[in-house]
Each structure stands twice: as structure tokens, then as C-alpha cells.
């Protein structure tokens, strides 16, 4: 009799926790905008290390390197390092935004953005 009660408790607790666990994993992968670091003089993408990862106001490091935000809608294209950026903004956009973490070679964004713990802002 006690085995049935403990099994019921475990199943009940699992059922209660499942929605919150799945919500955590889905939310981390979905950002509205992803930023790459850009040399504002040349409009070219540079290594993320050139930008301050905690620069919420996007004021730039030394007045040269700024985060450049691009929408992460499915099919969005991110330039490789050394390539010019276009189609985005230096202003921190509304919605969720992540800074850095875009592959150096650039490319298209899979549905849901890059994710992987690089999310910041809200």
C-alpha cells in the first residue's frame, strides 16, 4: 500500500514540475535581437571581445566599438568578422536581446535565435 502512495506522490510532483522545467529551456533559446560587435568607423564586424558584454546602454568602448543588434527572425543573416553590417541598429531594441556569441563565420539564424546562454536584457 505504501509503494502505491509514494509512486502517486512522485508522479504528481513530476507532473507539477514539468511545465516549469520546459519553460526554462525554451525561454533561453528565444531572443528577439542578437548583437555583434562592430567598429563604428568602418561598419565592419569585429571580435566580440572588443565590446563590453555588460554594456546595457551601448555607449561603446573608446567610442569606436559598439554592439549592433539584428533581429533573429528565422532566416536572418549575420555577417562574418571583417564583413560590413546592415539591416540592424546600434540602439538597444525593445524585446529580448543577446550580446555576442554569434559564430565568427556568420550565417543564417536558425528559428529561435542562437541561444546557448548568451541572452541579456529584456
- What is the tens place of the pLDDT at every residue in 30-77? 789 999 999 999 999 999 999 988 888 887 777 899 999 999 887 788
Give this prediction's pTM: 0.65
Q: How far apart are the first and last CA of the chain?
A: 49
Cβ-based burial of 102 (10 A; exposed 0-12, middle 13-18, buried ≥19): buried
- Residues in a beta bridge with 107: 78
Nearest to 78 by CA among 118, 70, 28: 70
**pLDDT band of 79, cuts 50, 70, 90:** very high
**pLDDT band of 82, cuts 50, 70, 90:** very high
Decide: 102 and 66 in contact? Cβ < 8 Å. Answer: no
Residue 17 has pLDDT above 70, yes or no: no
Q: Where are the alpha helices (DSSP H) in the chain?
A: 2-29
Amino acid at each position: 500500500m505504501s509503494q502505491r502512495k509514494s509512486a502517486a506522490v512522485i508522479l504528481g510532483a513530476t507532473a507539477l514540475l514539468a511545465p516549469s522545467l520546459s519553460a526554462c529551456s525554451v525561454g533561453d533559446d528565444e531572443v528577439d535581437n542578437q548583437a555583434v560587435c562592430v567598429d563604428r568607423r568602418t561598419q565592419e564586424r569585429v571580435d566580440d571581445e572588443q565590446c563590453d558584454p555588460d554594456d546595457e546602454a551601448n555607449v561603446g568602448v573608446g567610442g569606436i566599438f559598439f554592439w549592433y543588434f539584428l533581429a533573429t527572425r528565422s532566416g536572418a543573416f549575420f555577417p562574418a568578422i571583417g564583413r560590413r553590417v546592415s539591416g540592424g541598429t546600434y540602439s538597444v531594441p525593445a524585446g529580448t536581446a543577446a550580446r555576442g556569441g554569434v559564430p565568427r563565420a556568420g550565417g543564417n539564424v536558425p528559428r529561435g535565435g542562437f541561444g546557448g546562454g548568451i541572452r541579456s536584457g529584456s
